[in-house]
Structures are given as structure tokens and as C-alpha cells.
Chain A
């Protein structure tokens, strides 16, 4: 589709640089923090950062699929909350229920929510931002009416389930490894599979995507369904981490996830970015939060840092995009005569 090979390669390189950029920032941040406070790289601390990042990185995978196709899923926090409660509550309802069944239940709840979001957005052609803003309220409301004033307490959960978040090798929890594999698979799918590539095509130019025959409605629907299912899964993991689940679980996560995705290099209007980048974005946010704490900076600085980071990241992206457009325009002129 590109007129010549080189601009394509240039674009690829720039976006890969963007991902490496996040990793460099992350490494610099860790290095500086460790220099000041050596205990920052302690096993316990690494585990804490990773566990925290795991949930957001997982949510960011689903969100990336939606955002690259120029949509947005604001309901992930509510889906996570609903799934966390319903799935962990199963342990109290059904004695001796196998843990995989609980995971499937969480996945199923998320999938149903995602299918509703996707069906309304894709087939009724209503902006996804508005639909998921509405379902954010609705799903949270359902969550609250199911729970009432109650909560699931950690002691009602089987030890095997709570261990999901605590078992680790050299400070890296098993669940983080599993999630890392899932994210790698998701990144590969988006990069290399036809239906994955088509999400980028839809996000970068919907009209062109339609003209080349991409089934836009079906792809967008699938992206939302996947995002919902992933949020449902994240809910079960959330429950195993925190143990105590009430109706506020996951409140406000949607905006943190969007922040992580954008900091990780996914363009907010679609068409570019990767799930791996988004996961690193989530890891960076989580690292910063813990690092501030380790450095003795008041945790009050954390949101300001996140906000500043987001603004810097998109400013940088904008700068790169403008430069890139200039370079490519020059190249085109050179090639034309």
C-alpha cells in the first residue's frame, strides 16, 4: 500500500523508537531511584510493583485493541469491579468450586459486558465513548445492587486462590509471567494477524478501511468483546490480590488505563501503538507510584506526576508526528521527479 519501501520503514522505526523510549525512561527512573534508595530493588518491592502493574497492563491490552480502532472503552473499571465481586463470591456460594471455573465465570461476565458495549457501538453506530460512559454507570450500578452493603472478605477465599497473587520466583509473581505471555500474544496478534492489522487500518482511516472491504462493525465489536473479557479476567486477579472486594473495586481505573495506554505510545485517535508499549506504560506508572514512596516523596505527588507524564508523552508524540510528516513530504518530492 505504501508508494515506496523507505517511508514505511521510517514509520516503523519511529514507532519502535517510541516503545524503546518508554523502556529507557523506565530504566532511567529505576536506576535513579535505586541510586538514592538501594532497597527499591528489593524482592518484596519488585513484587509489589509488578503485581500492581499486572492488572493495569492486562486492562491496557484490551484498551489498546479498542483505542487503535479509534474507539474508547470507559467501562473497564466497572467490569473489573463486577467480575471481581461475582467471581470471588462464588467461593462462598459453591463449596469447593474449582479455581479455573471461577476464572471462567469472571471471563464470562466480562465478555457479556464487552459484547453489550460492542453490539451497541458497532451495530447501532453510536460513539463508543458515550456507550461505555453509560455502561460505566450501569455496570457499577448493577454491581452495587448485587452487593448491597456487603463485601467479600479475604478469609472466605481458599488459600490456593489468594496464593495466585503471592507465589513468585525471584520476586516475579507467576501471575505476572502468565499475563506477560498473554500480552505478548496479544501484541503479536495485533501486529501480524490480518484481523489485528485491520484494527489499525480502521483507526487510521475508517473511510479507507471501508473501501478496501474491511468489516468494520465486526472488528470493532470483537475489540470491545475482547476488552470486556480481559477486564473480567483482570477482575478475578484483582480479587485474588486484594482479598477484600466491595462495591468500589476498580473505581476510576478506566482513566488510569487510558493514561497508561497513551503514555505507552498508542495514539488516542487510533491507528498506531502496540499492546506491549501500553503494558510498559502501565509498568511505568506503577513504578513511579512506588518510587515516589521509596524516595520519601509524599504519595500526594503521584497523580500530578502521572498527569505531567501523559501531557509530556502526547506532546512528544505530536512533535514526532509533525517531524515525520515533514520528512516524508520531502522524500515524496524527491521521489516524484
Chain B
């Protein structure tokens, strides 16, 4: 994926002046082979950025045009409402996930956080708590869940993918313990109406409007603040980020806490939309969230990605699923299309690289230098301050 984050920001607006961490040298590109000649590399990356977002935009247009052609109901206000309603929580959870993946970590516990929030909401309502108090408690609880992830990842120094698989199971388990086999569904209509009516005057569902609002906030934070830019630095080269004085541990903990709060908020929306609190609410959403973020062009190794890309990925995902639904495609099998899209999104950017590697391969045969090997491998960053190279390096990534 040829997204250059620094270019992403400066392409839209002049980089903000002031105390800003120095950009990591492009040569640190985690997991991405560098073509020889840095000048060339820089330009091709700039073009790569534009190409990726344009490709997403084009896909978005194609999906919506084809959807319109196949079904006259596709481009109607009612359908937009439904589309946003059924994918709103998913889309919202993709936002904090984007920030976390940019730093080179991952949070697989998002859907369990949603489920636990839903269970807690149901339990407290069952015990007759007032709804505003419940919402506050659920959000605070979400913050703690995120803080626990953040603690294990940053302070104990565990790989985030393993930690969050663990907490995914743990939180889902706690949700089961909390609510058991109870199904709570007697929520007041004032709240469950957000699954029936749109925002007055706009017509989109509340979750959609919240998503776009949050997307702007997250996008501005990610691309136009020193905090957001520091996330790219951490993802690109954590060692360099630590040595240039960034507070990596604290920042990542904050991100996990934000993710916990946002996902428990999504859990509240989910519960009201279905007007049902069950322990297994949201099970399995996490893989879709990750798929959306990666489709949006965020590198799984961190350091690259843009909020615009992720928003387009959300639109493509929901539009595609909805178009398939309207055309009578078996809904469960739509995974073929989503998976195919995800596969294309990682394969297409690697085509030019594949060709250049074939060319470079011939040179390399002649001069078998160690340099060639380093240039052509995913950088194995010493990611923790303790120098444990097994902790991040390549997230299931290509050592090849």
C-alpha cells in the first residue's frame, strides 16, 4: 500500500507549524520494500497515495452507479437510512481502529466491548437504573476495558494481537456472565426510536450522523494535529519515535481507552437499534471492522493510512452489501465479494512492487550483497524499548 501519511496531510493543507515530531525517514518504511533511489521512491509514493484514494473513490462511484442500475430502490432516502442503520456501529468502531492500526497495533476486542456494553446496559436497566446514569456508567466501563488492553500492550509489553484476542474472549465471557441468558427488550421508546426514525431534517440514521461527525473529529486529529502525526511516526518506526521523545506508551494507552469508549458507545446504539440487549450482541463484527480499515488503505504494519480512505471503505462496504441484498444475492455469501475486495486491496498495490522486484532480482543475482537483502525485506523493527524484536516487527506480516 503506497500511502504516504505525511504527504496525506500536506497534500490537503500546509503542515501545521509548531512543535512537531520530525517525520521518520521514509527509508524506515515498515514492511515495504524500498525501490532504489530515494527521490524516485518519494515521487512514486506521492502518486501512490493519490492513486489509492482515487481508486477507492472510483470503486465507490461504480458501486453506487451499478446499485442504481440494478435496483431503482438503491438511491432512495429510505435505503440510505437503512444502509446507515445497519452499518452505523461497524463504521463507528472502524474510526478508533484506524488510529490504533496506524500506530502498528490492533484491537480485536472491539466487538466484545460492544457486546459487554450492551449486556451491562441490559443488566442495569433490568435493575431499574435511570437511563442517563446507565449510559454514563457503560461509557466509563468501556474506558476501563480499553485501559486494560492499553495496560497489557504498553506497560506489560505484550503483542497487541495476542492480547486483544485474549480480551476479546474475556470481555465476551464477562458479557455472558453479566447477562446470562436474559434478553432485555423493554427499553423506553424514546431511546429505541433511533432504530426507527432518522435525524429530523437529514433523514439519515442517528448512527450514520454520529459516524460522520466522529469521522471528521478523528480525521482532523489524525492528520492535522501533532498528536495524530505522531501516531504515524510510531507506526513507521517505534524506536525512532521513542528516541525523538514521543510518549509512545501513553499515546497508545489513550488510543485504547478511546477505542473502549467509542465501542461501548456503539454498543449502546446497537442495543437501542435492535431494542434488545443480549450477551452475544455484535459477535463477529470485529473481522468486518478490520477488513474495512485495511480496505481503506491503512497498512497493517502501521505508519500509513488516511481517514478519507477509511470513510470511502465504509461507504463501499455498506453500499456493496446493500446492493447485493437488493439484487437478491444470498446475503451470507456476500463475504465472497467483501473478501475479494480486501484481497484486491492488498494485491493491487503490490503489483508494481512485484515487477520491480523481478527486475531487481536479476541485479541481485550478480551482486549478492547483504544490502540487497535488507532493502528487499520488511524491516524488522526493534519495536520495544527493551529491544525485544519479537514484539511487533511484522504483524503476521511478510518476512519475505
> Chain B contacts of A278 at CB under 8 A?
none
A130's closest neighbor in chain B, by CB? B346
With most chain B CB atoms within 10 A of its CB, the pick from A203, A210, A270, A271 is: A210
A206–B394 CB distance below 8 A: yes
Q: Does any Cβ of B come within 8 Å of A135's Cβ?
A: yes
A205's contact among B389, B396, B400, by CB below 8 Å, is which? B389
A309's closest neighbor in chain B, by CB? B166
A268–B161 CB distance below 8 A: yes
A137–B335 CB distance below 8 A: yes
Within 8 A of A (CB), among B159-186: 159, 161-163, 165-174, 176-177, 180-181
Within 8 A of B (CB), among A122-144: 122, 124-131, 133-138, 140-142, 144
Q: A141-B334, A206-B377, A210-B377 are in contact. Are A70 and B393 (CB under 8 A)?
A: yes
**What number of B residues sit within 8 Å (CB to CB) of A?**
71
Q: A124-B354, A207-B374 are in contact. Are A300 and B171 (CB under 8 A)?
A: no
B166–A70 CB distance below 8 A: no
Q: A300-B180, A307-B170, A311-B152 are in contact. Are A70 and B158 (CB under 8 A)?
A: no
Q: Mark each residue of chain B from 198 to 232: 1 if its CB lies under 8 Å from any CB of chain A, else 0.
A: 00000000000000000000000000000000000
* Cα–Cα distance between A135 and B290 once the two chains are bound (Å): 14
> Chain A contacts of B73 at CB under 8 A?
none
B386–A322 CB distance below 8 A: yes
Q: A127-B396, A217-B400, A268-B161 are in contact. Are A141 and B339 (CB under 8 A)?
A: yes
Tell me the smallest distance from the CB of B284 to a CB of chain A, in Å.
7
Q: Does any Cβ of B come within 8 Å of A314's Cβ?
A: yes
> Chain A contacts of B10 at CB under 8 A?
none
A134–B342 CB distance below 8 A: yes
* Cα–Cα distance between A206 and B390 once the two chains are bound (Å): 11
> Chain A contacts of B173 at CB under 8 A?
300-307
With most chain A CB atoms within 10 A of its CB, the pick from B152, B162, B174, B350 is: B162
> Chain B contacts of A144 at CB under 8 A?
330, 332-333, 335
A259–B380 CB distance below 8 A: no
B338–A307 CB distance below 8 A: no
Apart from A145-B333, A300-B177: 16 A-B pairs, beta carbons within 8 A:
A70-B397, A74-B287, A121-B398, A127-B398, A130-B342, A134-B291, A134-B340, A137-B342, A141-B337, A217-B400, A298-B177, A300-B180, A303-B170, A303-B172, A303-B173, A303-B176
